[in-house]
């Protein structure tokens, strides 16, 4: 047992060192690395929801977009009138000083973590009472409605978008912006991973699994399923909001349907990544997101214009042929590695039954 | 109340007529969705994109100099084969599996369709001119495009034809039998694989008709498919599977809701209102059922 833990320790410290060194080693790819961190966070939180709890949501994009708008609004609104800022399209009439910028983004991220979690808690009772595909469609509607409504609200820029505060000009180091956002997202990634890992060792995960496998029976066993479902969703919302806040600052421009409530891209990506890696596993979403990101960045430029066609075909192929994902496939192939003991007699008996 | 619509009662008549005529069109799409949901137990997110594709077929005819109204005959024929092809390629692998898999797989198809339509027809908003003129009612205070009346008429015609076909024909009987119990139908010699393909084809053909009508009454754009999917989903869950009068009624109700939302909230919130209505309907049904300790199945 001790040996395994030592192995884990080496693995984790290796990954952290790699993560810390990455912006220096691959200095040109800092933005892509930041994206990767955020994608992994989104995939892991989706997995908590769709993989562990069995509530396949398309609506986590709601919290992501909410976080994005909240961070930017707080960052601007703390120091300047928000309406004038969006009206001027982020012109240079208002300039954040260095201290103001970091103060703003700090408070903004805090707000963008807490408010989506509260929103998830508030709507959770109503929405999580739906099951299966009704839940999926309802959350899909929720995400798109949020985008459409945000596109009609004047104070956050309506259809013309919202420019987030530019990185302070007083910092001369041209690398600083990239590094700042990379380390921010890396910290978020570590935080999310530690949290999800903690959940994987807890009773909470078992309860979520019980809900996934048979909610009626779980309820009959005396588990207050609604309470746990809402808690699970709030956890997802918390990290999704933070991820959105960081992305808003990185992209520098928020559009209601193309950047924030981007159901066509991010909303689908997070589902796809989790399924690609294998839902219901700790490492599956991480591997899935990494593979997907490399595939995306590698192929996107080669097949310019056809990327969405490729994305659609990819979704169909993954969903139909690999619904268990990479980890599920590995698990079937090498069950011993996953700590599963297989009774050969039992297996043979099952094969005969088929 | 400060809204224009409450000051001018004629606007209400206008909105009501528009809504009902539009709703009949939505009901036609919803009928297709109810058909395939009931028979194959899949939810087709690409439904709206099939509609738009059907519309673009009519638009292409319009560009070629043929009157777009002929699209209501040509478009369903082409779309039937598109539907069967789609079934053979993808859908037959998701029938009888978890509904979420069908949702995701058809979501993928929807993305492919959107993008291909964007390549072929461009990203502009287009409309095929039917040049049917308008009808003026009540001293010219209510204007009603004849194309809308035409589209509602054609929708009703096709819906009646389909109901008769489903009742009388051999294939219709086979489809109904498969919907009731696929296994029993198989035992009794129904080729369910063929029935599924035909059902999906008929659904696509209905989408084709609706699309051709939309091309002359409303506008076409490669990315507006999803609202049509959501509308038809909404109508189906309100009306239930296989209840045609209820589908027609709730379609009209949705049309009315949309027109009034358009006037009261403003056009920019129209699509948002449709999606919020979906959420409200689902949540309402959930609370209603939870009183009996049941849930939507």
Closest CB to B269: pick one of A148, A271, A320.
A148
Identify the pLDDT of residue A352: 63
Is B122 exposed, middle or buried (CB count within 10 Å of its CB: 0-12, 13-18, 19+)? Answer: exposed
Per-residue pLDDT of B251-270, as tens digits, reads 899 988 888 888 888 777 88
Distances (CA, A) of A268 to A260, A304, A323, B116: 13, 19, 15, 18
Average pLDDT over residues B113-117: 89
CA distance A316 to chain B (A): 5
Contact call for A271 and B268, based on CB within 8 A = no
Neighbours of B60 (CB within 10 A): 18
Identify the pLDDT of residue A94: 72
Sign of CA pseudo-dihedral A166, A168, A172, A174: negative
Per-residue pLDDT of A229-262, as tens digits, reads 999 999 999 999 999 999 888 888 888 777 778 7
Place of tokens 């009603």: B144
Spatial distance between the Cα atoms of A325 and A353, rounded to a whole number of angstroms: 26
Q: How many CA atoms lie within 13 A of A255 on its CB side?
A: 8
Per-residue pLDDT of B130-182, as tens digits, reads 777 777 777 677 778 888 888 888 889 998 998 899 889 999 999 888 888 88
Question: Is the residue at A298 inside a domain?
Answer: no
Question: Is the residue at A14 inside a domain?
Answer: no
Spatial distance between the Cα atoms of B117 and B203, rounded to a whole number of angstroms: 20
Spatial distance between the Cα atoms of B63 and B65, rounded to a whole number of angstroms: 5
Average pLDDT over residues B10-29: 86
Contacts with B268 from chain A: Cβ below 8 Å: 151-152, 158-159
Nearest CA-CA partner of A307 in A295, A319, A320, A321: A295
Is the separation of the CB atoms in B208 and B107 below 8 Å?
no
Chain B: residue whose CA lies nearest to A316: B105
| Domains identified in chain A, total number | 1
Q: Which residues of chain A, if any, have pLDDT below 50?
A: 1
CA distance A152 to chain B (A): 6
Is the separation of the CB atoms in A285 and A47 below 8 Å?
yes
Contact call for B271 and A320, based on CB within 8 A = no
Per-residue pLDDT of B68-107, as tens digits, reads 888 888 899 999 999 999 999 888 888 877 788 888 888 8
Question: What ipTM was estimated for this complex?
Answer: 0.83
Spatial distance between the Cα atoms of A273 and A277, rounded to a whole number of angstroms: 6
Q: Would you state the structure tokens that stand for residue A102, as one six-digit string?
A: 């970091």
Closest CB to B99: pick one of A132, A308, A312.
A132
Which of A141, A263, A276 is best to mutate for the B interface (most B CBs within 10 A)? Answer: A141
Chain A: residue whose CA lies nearest to B116: A309
Neighbours of A337 (CB within 10 A): 9
DSSP conformation class of A155: G
Is the separation of the CB atoms in B172 and B238 below 8 Å?
no
Give chain B's mean pLDDT: 85
Question: Is the residue at A329 inside a domain?
Answer: no
Average pLDDT over residues B20-35: 89
Question: Is the residue at A82 inside a domain?
Answer: yes
Nearest CA-CA partner of A69 in A11, A119, A23: A119
Query: What CATH number does the domain located at B4-270 have?
Result: 1.10.3470
Identify the pLDDT of residue B84: 93
Contact call for B275 and A144, based on CB within 8 A = yes
Identify the pLDDT of residue A1: 45
Closest CB to B226: pick one of A144, A271, A309.
A144
Contact call for B268 and A159, based on CB within 8 A = yes
Question: Is the residue at A287 inside a domain?
Answer: no
Determine the structural domain holding residue A87 and report its residue range.
30-262
Give DSSP secondary structure letters for A265-328.
Answer: THHHHHHHHHHHH-TTSSSHHHHHHHHHHHHHHHHHTTTTT-HHHHHHHHHHHHHHH-TTHHHH
Identify the pLDDT of residue A341: 66
Sign of CA pseudo-dihedral A130, A136, A140, A141: negative
Contact call for A151 and B114, based on CB within 8 A = no
With an 8 Å Cβ cutoff, is A131 touching chain B? Answer: yes
Spatial distance between the Cα atoms of A23 and A178, rounded to a whole number of angstroms: 8
Contact call for B108 and A313, based on CB within 8 A = yes
Question: Is the residue at A237 inside a domain?
Answer: yes
Contact call for B90 and A323, based on CB within 8 A = no
Return phi, psi of residue A342, to 5°.
-110, 130
Query: Does residue B67 surpass a pLDDT of 50?
Result: yes
Where do the domains of chain B lie? 4-270
Is the separation of the CB atoms in A278 and A327 below 8 Å?
yes
Question: Is the residue at A63 inside a domain?
Answer: yes
Query: Does residue B1 surpass a pLDDT of 60?
Result: no
With an 8 Å Cβ cutoff, is B87 touching chain A? Answer: no
With an 8 Å Cβ cutoff, is A211 touching chain B? Answer: no
Output the pTM of the full model: 0.86
Place of tokens 């969903």: A319
Contact call for B272 and A305, based on CB within 8 A = no
With an 8 Å Cβ cutoff, is B108 touching chain A? Answer: yes
Q: Would you state the structure tokens that stand for residue A38, as one six-digit string?
A: 């955020």
């Amino acid at each position: 047992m001790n040996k395994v833990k030592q192995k884990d320790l080496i693995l984790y410290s290796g990954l952290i060192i790699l993560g810390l060194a990455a912006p220096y080693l691959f200095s040109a790819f800092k933005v892509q690395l930041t994206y990767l961190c955020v994608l992994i966070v989104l995939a892991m939180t989706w997995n908590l929801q769709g993989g562990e709890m069995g509530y396949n949501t398309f609506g986590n994009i709601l919290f992501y977009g909410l976080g994005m708008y909240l961070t930017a609004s707080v960052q601007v609104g703390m120091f300047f009138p928000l309406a004038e800022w969006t009206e001027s399209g982020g012109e240079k009439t208002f300039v954040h000083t260095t201290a103001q910028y970091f103060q703003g983004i700090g408070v903004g991220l805090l707000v963008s973590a807490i408010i989506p979690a509260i929103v998830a808690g508030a709507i959770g009772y109503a929405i999580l009472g739906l099951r299966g595909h009704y839940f999926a469609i309802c959350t899909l509607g929720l995400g798109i409605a949020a985008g459409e409504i945000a596109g009609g609200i004047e104070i956050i820029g309506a259809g013309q978008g919202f420019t987030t505060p530019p990185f302070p000009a007083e910092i001369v180091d041209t690398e600083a912006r990239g590094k700042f956002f990379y380390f921010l997202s890396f910290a978020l990634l570590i935080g999310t991973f530690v949290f999800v890992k903690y959940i994987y060792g807890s009773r909470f995960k078992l309860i979520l699994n019980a809900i996934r496998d048979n909610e009626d029976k779980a309820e009959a066993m005396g588990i207050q399923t609604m309470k746990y479902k809402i808690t699970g969703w709030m956890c997802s919302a918390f990290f999704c909001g933070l991820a959105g806040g960081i992305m808003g600052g990185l992209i520098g421009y928020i559009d209601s349907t193309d950047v924030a409530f981007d159901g066509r891209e991010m909303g689908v990506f997070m589902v796809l990544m989790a399924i690609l890696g294998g839902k219901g596993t700790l490492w599956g979403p991480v591997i899935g997101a990494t593979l997907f990101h490399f595939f995306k960045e590698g192929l996107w430029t080669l097949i310019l214009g056809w990327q969405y066609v490729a994305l659609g075909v990819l979704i169909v192929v993954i969903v139909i042929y690999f619904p268990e994902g990479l980890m599920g496939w590995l698990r079937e192939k090498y069950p011993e590695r996953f700590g599963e003991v297989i009774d050969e007699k039992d297996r043979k008996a099952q094969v005969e039954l088929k | 109340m400060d809204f224009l619509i409450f000051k001018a009662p004629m606007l209400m008549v206008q909105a009501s007529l528009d809504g009902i005529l539009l709703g009949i069109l939505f009901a036609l799409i919803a009928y297709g969705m109810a058909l395939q949901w009931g028979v194959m137990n899949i939810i087709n997110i690409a439904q709206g994109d099939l509609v738009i594709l059907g519309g673009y077929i009519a638009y292409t005819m319009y560009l070629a100099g043929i009157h777009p109204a002929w699209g209501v005959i040509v478009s369903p024929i082409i779309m039937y084969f598109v539907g069967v092809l789609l079934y053979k390629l993808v859908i037959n692998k998701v029938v009888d599996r978890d509904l979420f898999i069908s949702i995701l797989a058809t979501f993928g198809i929807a993305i492919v369709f959107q993008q291909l339509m964007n390549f072929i027809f461009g990203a502009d908003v287009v409309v095929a001119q039917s040049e049917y003129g308008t009808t003026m009612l009540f001293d010219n205070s209510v204007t009603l495009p004849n194309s809308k009346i035409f589209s509602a008429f054609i929708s009703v015609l096709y819906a009646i034809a389909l109901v008769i076909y489903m009742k009388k024909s051999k294939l219709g009987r086979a489809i109904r039998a498969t919907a009731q119990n696929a296994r029993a139908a198989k035992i009794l010699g129904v080729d369910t694989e063929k029935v599924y393909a035909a059902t999906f084809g008929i659904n696509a053909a209905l989408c084709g008709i609706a699309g051709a009508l939309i091309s002359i009454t409303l506008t076409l754009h490669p990315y507006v498919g999803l609202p049509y999917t959501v509308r038809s989903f909404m109508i189906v869950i309100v009306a239930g599977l296989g209840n045609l009068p209820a589908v027609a009624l709730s379609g009209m109700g949705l049309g009315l809701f949309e027109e009034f939302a358009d006037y009261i909230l403003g056009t920019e919130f129209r699509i948002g209102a449709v999606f919020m209505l979906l959420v409200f309907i689902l949540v309402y049904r959930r609370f209603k059922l939870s009183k009996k300790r049941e849930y939507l199945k």
